[in-house]
Amino acid sequence: MPATLLHHLISATAERTPAAIALGAGADSMEMDYQHLAKAVDACAGGLVNNLGLPRGGRVAIWLDKRFETVIACFGAAAAGGAFVPVNPVLKPAQLIHILRDSGALVLITSPERLATLKDTLHTCPDLGHVVLTPSPADEAPGAALPVSLTEWANFLHPVASTVLHRVIDTDMAAILYTSGSTGRPKGVVLSHRNMVCGAHSVAQYLENKADDILLAALPLSFDAGFSQLTTAFAVGAKVALLNYLLPRDVLKAVEREQVTGLTAVPPLWIQLAQLQWPPSITLRYFATTGGRMPLATLTRLRAALPRSKPYLMYGLTEAFRATCLPPEEVDRRPDSIGKAIPNAEVLVLRPDGSECAPDEPGELVQRGALVAQGYWNDAEKTSAHFRPLPVGVGGRKHGLTLPEIAVYSGDTVRRDGEGFIYFIGRDDEMIKTSGYRVSPVEVEEILYATGMIGECAAFGLAHDTLGHSITVIVTPPPQGTVDLAALKAECRARMPAYMVPARVELHPGPLPRNPNGKIDRKTLARETQP
């Protein structure tokens, strides 16, 4: 029977190939097969319902690094009829407390070390009743009385055979993924079982994943593309190698050590990886980018270093998982495209009045289909702004259909060429308006990377009395090199129209700041840069 619920991705594979390896973690090669993973997920679901009384739809927050318990807890919460809320381990306690309060989490699964940082603030989370503590090498005790009940992981697990779990269907909530919060407080995107299972099968289809693949989970599991490494692998019975990396070189070592065949990362990480020496023993069948456009210079370096690996250039948003992918056979012809809609999704390019744009006319990217999320948790205003009914006549909508279909309006400006390939222009909230022109920071950054004179860069606009915005760029030096700012500015003048040339180019000595999902944080840089 095909998987319809999130945890079925594991149990279905466990029935087919119980001894196949599902998870690997760390340089000591710890592994767990599908049979034991399925049993652990069932025991976690049983513990949540039987031991902690989790109600249907109850939220379970998980604040851990990548480890077996993190995966078990996510899928166990969904199997129990609840919703898991994975919290990026790099977030600070204050950010976690916001997520706990906003989601109304009833259970927190974390480590003793992390719990110790929360002892003075947990009382501000009135819904939180239980904390489950994973095993810790430090064997730390909380050290202070807490306003919650504490349970150790081993004592919390409960055989599911003696537990009546909640009824679950595919449109039920499975997860709340909180965005990075680069535009303010993080927003919780609500995903159903159907969203996540359909997304897993769609991605596995176009990446041609098979049971003998080994995928590296380098991105945070709180990030939709990071969690996708689990669901995509489990959908086909492949293995996921969990990695808590500190430096890009750690990623490269893991790819070689684990004989990884598929690696997905965000452009800032690819920029750093492209500057490393890739050994000939690398077994990557494909590499994929998501979370922004990969600079052409970076793509060129990677393809030279990995001539046997297929490149997949992807675009997506947490509100609809993935939207488009450029197949490897099209990369040479149109490396600046984000491709076409992925399987079981439709991507539209619409004008403000809801009508479809003509070829090469800029418009907003709008996505419809099974991957569109269920809105933002506890935020009706933002939900109504981004999740809106499709107009009649658009996307196959006919006058006789009286119930509305909700699509997600991305806020991203794109264009579609005459052959149907889509090109990213910029986010509406990041576009630079200067001298009457709309300039995409991505376009500015692409030209700077093409010079080969820098390591990383970020472009943004600062308020200006006469221009509207002046274009500012922050750059870092290349590895083992320096930046000649005067020569770089000369290259900008030679390669850009006058209105696009940065008014300021400033040097940043180290890596640029990232948001919790690993993307370069333009908004923080703009805030910290004096006009």
pLDDT tens sequence across 420-436 = 999 988 777 777 878 76
Closest C-alpha among 122, 60, 107, 112 to residue 86: 60
Q: Which residues pair with 389 in a beta bridge?
A: 406
Q: Tell me which amino acid residue 245 is.
A: Y
Q: Are 472 and 460 in contact (CB under 8 A)?
A: yes
- CA 245 to CA 220: how far, in whole Å? 10
Judge: domain 430-528, CATH 3.30.450.70: no
- CA 426 to CA 436: how far, in whole Å? 16
What's the pLDDT score for residue 182?
38
Mean pLDDT of 253-275: 93
Q: How confident is the model at residue 125 (pLDDT cuts 50, 70, 90)?
A: very high
Higher pLDDT, residue 512 or 2? 512
One fold for 8-195 and 245-426? yes
Residues 6+ apart with CB under 8 A from 351: 357, 361, 363, 364
**245-426: CATH class:** alpha beta
- CA 180 to CA 120: how far, in whole Å? 24
Which structure tokens are listed for 93?
A: 């306690």
Q: How confident is the model at residue 417 (pLDDT cuts 50, 70, 90)?
A: very high
User: 16-49 burial string, b = 16+ CB within 10 Å, else e?
Assistant: eeeebbbbbbeeeeeebbbbbbbbbbbbbbbbbb
Q: How confident is the model at residue 101 (pLDDT cuts 50, 70, 90)?
A: very high
Percent of the chain with pLDDT strictly greater than 70: 95
Query: Which superfamily does 8-195 belong to?
Result: ANL, N-terminal domain (3.40.50.12780)
Q: Mean pLDDT in the chain?
A: 91
- CA 32 to CA 13: how far, in whole Å? 13
What's the pLDDT score for residue 334?
93
Residue 157 pLDDT exceeds 50: yes
Q: What are the residue ranges spanned by the domains of the chain?
A: 8-195, 245-426, 430-528
